[in-house]
Structure 1
Amino acid sequence: MRPIRPGLRGDLARTLRRVVRTGFAATTALLIGPTADGARAEPAAAAAVALVVSVDVSQSVDDSRFVLQMEGIAEALEDPGVIAAMTGHPGGTLFAMVTWADRAGLAVGWRRIASRADAFAAAAQVRVTPRQSGEFTCLGQMFRTVTASVLPAMPVPAERIVVDVSGDGIDNCTDPENLETERTALLAAGATINGLPILVPGENDVVGAGAYRAPGYGLRATPLPQERTDLTQWYRSHVVAGPGAFLLKAAGYGDFSRALRRKFVIEVSGLAPGRRDE
């Protein structure tokens, strides 16, 4: 085995410390060194936007609703207007998808969308996402997972970070104070949180009353104190936050794809200068 030159060990240690400080995997490009023609490899370009699509898959979301959500996200990614928005900035758009119920998981890892082919490849991956089991709607757990593991795994920096949260129920497994703590931590990580409540007449007209089995409550009424309100207002109070944050409603699962296409264009283009509800 050839010995490691003394200077090389020091260079490697300094590079690894830089990786830890930045938190972005892109800095590993510094380890590659010169290319075959002698030129030094350039780090990957930063993205304009990093978009985390965060999808409720709790017990209220049956198999048909799950398919409508996955197909809606895939159709949005394939929409010409969305593709134009995602690819219209230098560096394109970083895309990842999180599904959450009792726990949250990274269902589609970070992908750069800088071309139509990239967008269609991401859509294909969304369509084959397996169903995640779970009874409750643990929004606070999702916030924590995105803060602790999803954002630090971004392959390159982004000018803006957007977390797009959709669902048909309220958090029923996190104390309200802890929920706010987790949301605050996600905002401190640089994210804007937008909301897409899915309104199903006769199911989630009233939420948080504690005496009803509203969507997301599982088989039991929530043991947590929650105000009696409607889902849109609950999302305004407990989800939507950050610079340019906004809320856009879906009129049932059949409207999810339409609402998401519009929401993606607004989010990626940065067309929402302040809070807006639609």
Structure 2
Amino acid sequence: MDRLRLSPSVRRALFTGLAALWMAGPARAEPPPAVALVVAVDVSQSVDEARFTLQMEGIAAALEDPGVIAAMTGRPGGTLFAMVTWADQAGLALNWQRIATRADALATAARVRATPRQSGEFTCLGQMFRTVAASVIPAMPLPAERIVVDVSGDGIDNCTDPDNLEAEQQTLLGTGATINGLPILVPGENDVVGAGAYRAPGYGLRATPLPQDRTDLAQWYRAHVVGGPGAFLLAAAGYGDFSKAIRRKFVIEVSDAARRMEGSPALDPR
């Protein structure tokens, strides 16, 4: 039987197609992100325009920092990043972004910097826990090896019954997340917290008693916020220190340093 004769142009096209198929090889699964990081930012009544800007600028500057970029992009799957703002209610201010390259990090920083100011009256930490557990984590586009919720704020919860606050925290921890704390310590404002009783209207039928034990905000965050494998607390010495604190925190949270800290409940709060 005579061999099938093909024109030179057809042979070239056939060879090119076969070569492309060979070079592509078998389909490979996309590597999972090492960490899914939810940054939960307090925007309650105590956070004015200047403080809101300092927080957004601090997060954006951290995402542009070479050390943070190296940590977030150092593994093939990169890092998943989302931002939640919370006060009376919690909302997804920046949906999940995958940061696998420097360009991804810079683009995410620009989106953070462009976030319009959001505000509220009360500090409803339990509401934020519930939102992150019920809608933010389930919306992750890819599973991650670790889930970290990074909570920053300048006050204690003032609208959730204590038992309900613990239940909401445990529900969030039940998703497999680790909750880290970044209390913002403002001299003269939150040096002492937890004395007295306060009620945020619209959150249940009975008054919410605040803890009667006088304590400082860092200790309250240790007792009511942080939890999960490798959880830690790192405080900011005022809003002016927020950028430095969040940058350091990001590096720890997305690197192997957090894994080495399992069993240690907190860092030095200063």
User: What's the TM-score once normalised by structure 2's chain length?
Assistant: 0.83
Task: String of CA shifts for 1:97-146, please: whole Å, max 9, x gaps.
Answer: 00000000000100110111000000000011111231000000000000
Alignment partners' CA distance in 1, 2:162 and 2:27: 48
2:17 paired residue number: none
Task: String of CA shifts for 1:220-269, please: whole Å, max 9, x gaps.
Answer: xxx52122211011000000000000000100000000000000000100
Give the CA deviation at 1:208: 1.6
2:134 maps to a residue whose letter is A
Q: Is the 8 A contact 1:44 1:156 kept in 2?
A: no
1:58-77 map, 5 Å: 58-77=44-63
Please tell me whether residue 186 in structure 1 is matched to residue 176 in structure 2: no
Please tell me whether residue 226 in structure 1 is matched to residue 210 in structure 2: yes
Give the CA deviation at 1:276: 2.5
Give the CA deviation at 1:44: 3.4
- The aligned length equals 237
Task: String of CA shifts for 1:59-115, please: whole Å, max 9, x gaps.
Answer: 000000000000000000000000000000120000000000000000010011011
Greater Rg over alpha carbons, structure: 2
2:134 paired residue number: 148
Give the CA deviation at 1:39: 8.2
Please tell me whether residue 80 in structure 1 is matched to residue 66 in structure 2: yes
1:238 maps to a residue whose letter is H
Task: String of CA shifts for 1:16-57, please: whole Å, max 9, x gaps.
Answer: xxxxxxxxxxxxxxxxxxxx9798865533100000000000
1:102 paired residue number: 88
2:98 maps to a residue whose letter is R
Unpaired stretches in structure 2, ≥5 consecutive residues: 1-19, 202-206
Which residue, 104, 124, 128 being the options, matches 1:138?
Answer: 124
Give the 3-state SS of the residue equivalent to 1:47 in structure 2: coil
CA RMSD between the two structures:
2.1
1:270 maps to a residue whose letter is D
Unpaired stretches in structure 1, ≥5 consecutive residues: 1-35
Please tell me whether residue 275 in structure 1 is matched to residue 233 in structure 2: no
1:87 maps to a residue whose letter is T
Alignment partners' CA distance in 1, 2:41 and 2:27: 37
1:73 maps to a residue whose letter is I
1:122 paired residue number: 108
Moved over 3 A (4+): 36-44
1:266 paired residue number: 252
Q: Is the 8 A contact 1:96 1:109 kept in 2?
A: yes
2:97 paired residue number: 111
Give the 3-state SS of the residue equivalent to 1:158 in structure 2: coil
1:224 maps to a residue whose letter is T
Give the 3-state SS of the residue equivalent to 1:163 in structure 2: strand
Give the 3-state SS of the residue equivalent to 2:34 in structure 1: strand
Alignment partners' CA distance in 2, 1:104 and 1:134: 10
Alignment partners' CA distance in 2, 1:185 and 1:59: 26
Alignment partners' CA distance in 1, 2:119 and 2:154: 16
Which residue, 168, 172, 196 being the options, matches 1:210?
Answer: 196
